[in-house]
A = this chain, B = another copy of it.
Amino acid sequence: MKVLIIGGNGTIGKKVSEKLSEKHKVIIAGRNSGDVTVDFSEVSSIKNMFDSVGKLDAIVAIAGDAKWDKLDNLTEEDFYIGIKSKMMGQVNVVRIGKDYLNSNGSITLSTGILADDPVDMTTSAAMVNGAINSFAKAVALELEDGKRINVVCSDLVEDSFEKYAAYFPGNTPVPMHKIVDGYVKSIEGRITGRILRITA
């Protein structure tokens, strides 16, 4: 399969890329590095990325930012950071990318535990994650030609544990291989419309 991994050089992305490279032809898209560069918050950049890579069997998005802070400190503009990047970035990857998918191809998006079980300072991040979970379930009803969409929705991952542990008291970090398995399940399986919740 020919697989595009947007964010394939990130903390999770590089582990997913490594694993998928064993069996598939992997193309990595990144903000500043990779086989192709993309600004995830710009429709035109997403379109250019797809034009340059051509037809695909699987599209994976593990990208996008949202601002973490107390609700008291978050301005409307701060909310739009996550909306334009992690939320509409993934929406636009689906809107545009579905037409670059071969029959039976898959799209796999990425969200996290915050959608269901937020922590302090995540009103914006939780919102964006919940949005994408619901969006993907709705998209699955409309894709044709065997095309599929799923979301890997993971708890705090081992490789990010040090960076985020203070935000998640009492959280048991998820082994990376379980997260990687989620992406493999979405890409190589036949499921669609599923939110794959990965916990320790």
User: What residues make up the interface of A, taking CB atoms closer than 8 Å to B?
Assistant: 43, 70-72, 74, 76, 79, 83, 87-88, 91-92, 94-95, 98, 114-135, 137-139, 141-142
The answer, among B71, B92, B127, for a CB contact under 8 Å with A131, is: B127
The answer, among B88, B98, B129, B135, for a CB contact under 8 Å with A134, is: B129
Majority SS of interface residues in chain A? Answer: helix
Q: Smallest CB–CB gap between A120 and chain B, Å?
A: 5
Q: Smallest CB–CB gap between A11 and chain B, Å?
A: 22
Q: Smallest CB–CB gap between A130 and chain B, Å?
A: 3
Q: Smallest CB–CB gap between A179 and chain B, Å?
A: 20
B134:A118 contact, CB within 8 angstroms: yes
Cβ contacts A to B, 16 pairs, < 8 Å: A43-B76, A71-B95, A72-B142, A79-B88, A83-B88, A116-B134, A116-B137, A117-B137, A118-B141, A119-B138, A123-B138, A123-B142, A128-B131, A130-B131, A130-B133, A133-B134
The answer, among B72, B126, B134, B141, for a CB contact under 8 Å with A127, is: B134
Q: Which residues of B contact A132 (CB under 8 A)?
A: 127, 130
Q: Smallest CB–CB gap between A13 and chain B, Å?
A: 23
Q: Which residues of B contact A139 (CB under 8 A)?
A: 71, 123
Q: Smallest CB–CB gap between A99 and chain B, Å?
A: 9
B95:A118 contact, CB within 8 angstroms: no
The answer, among B120, B121, B127, for a CB contact under 8 Å with A91, is: B127
CA distance in complex: A139, B129 (Å) = 14
Q: Smallest CB–CB gap between A167 and chain B, Å?
A: 11
Of chain B, the residue at the smallest CB distance from A142 is: B71
Q: Which residues of B contact A135 (CB under 8 A)?
A: 123-124, 126-127, 130
